[in-house]
Amino acid sequence: MWRFSGNQMKRWRTKANVSREQLAAAANYSPDTIKAMEQGARMPTPRVLDVADELCRAEGLLSAAKEYLSREKFPARAQEFMEREKEAISLWWYEVTHVPGLLQTKGYAKALIDNHVPPLDEETAADRVAARMERQSILTGRKPPVALSFVVYEAVLRSPQVDAEQLHRLLEVSGLSNVTLQVLPFGRAVPAALMGPVVLLETRDHERFAYAEGQLGSELSADPDAVSRTTERLSMIRAQAFSPDESARFVERMVDQA
């Protein structure tokens, strides 16, 4: 609905020969914000829809979108992955910079989301934190349990956002029977481990997806070649990581030092 409403707003604006700058000025937003709304990257606000409706003489057709719009729980680029995550029977996750979202404490998640660039408004940030916490039901809330395997690079644990509470959370989750947690130490990092985070996911229908996220975008792929390459990369990383028991002891030592 974000994308559809934004696209309709752009079409009406173009038809009425109203520039993006004119709409931005009338609605008290920047032209870049209007552009993001038209492209579906941000939700068109009620004020923008009403102003656009009046400027473009849409006779209520743009304003009518307000009742169908709601805040999305996840960024647009991650929404497809989140839908697949709901169907997962197994998930294999490697992270190089952040604690995986499924293992984050509320405080850690809030610290990351509050420092989003560009900044999010308070309501959107709160929605994102709540949604991240809701996702964690995958850890214990499904029958049969989802098989979850996580490998985190040592740099993740050395981050200033990782406090004693977050370290204890990792130890708590690693004790679950369906969860495996491993730490890849600095001294064992292979080049493939420095290329960024990656996830391998299998659904109830035994479809397999590879997911990679970067600063400028993300990609969810069911292409067999992409899945195969991701599997090889994850296998290489896991082989270099500490065993689950060694990883638990490593995290425990960090707790003692915290």
Instruction: Indicate whether 74 pLDDT > 70.
Output: no
Report the pLDDT averaged over residues 108-112. Answer: 96
Q: What are phi and psi for residue 121, nearest 5 degrees? A: -70, 160
pLDDT at 44: 86
pLDDT in tens, 8-49: 999 999 999 999 999 999 998 899 989 988 998 778 888 899
Q: Where are the alpha helices (DSSP H) in the chain?
A: 2-15, 20-27, 31-38, 46-55, 79-86, 106-114, 122-135, 154-157, 164-174, 224-240, 244-257
Instruction: Indicate whether 71 pLDDT > 60.
Output: no
What region, left, alpha or beta, does residue 196 occupy, with left being phi > 0 and alpha being psi -120 to 50 degrees? left
Average pLDDT, the chain: 91
Report the pLDDT averaged over residues 67-79. Answer: 67
Q: Which residues sit opposite 209 in a β-bridge? A: 201
Give 77's pLDDT tier (boundaries 50, 70, 90): low
CA distance 75 to 43: 11
Domains of the chain: 2-68 (1.10.260.40), 76-257 (3.30.870)
pLDDT at 119: 86
CA distance 30 to 17: 18
Among 109, 101, 103, which Cα is nearest to 125's?
109
Instruction: Indicate whether 251 pLDDT > 90.
Output: yes
Give 123's pLDDT tier (boundaries 50, 70, 90): confident
- Dihedral sign, CA of 39, 42, 44, 47? negative
Give 247's pLDDT tier (boundaries 50, 70, 90): very high
pLDDT in tens, 175-211: 999 999 999 999 999 999 999 999 999 998 889 999 9
pLDDT at 257: 85
pTM, two decimals, is 0.73
pLDDT-above-70 percentage for the chain: 97
Among 211, 182, 78, which Cα is nearest to 132's?
78
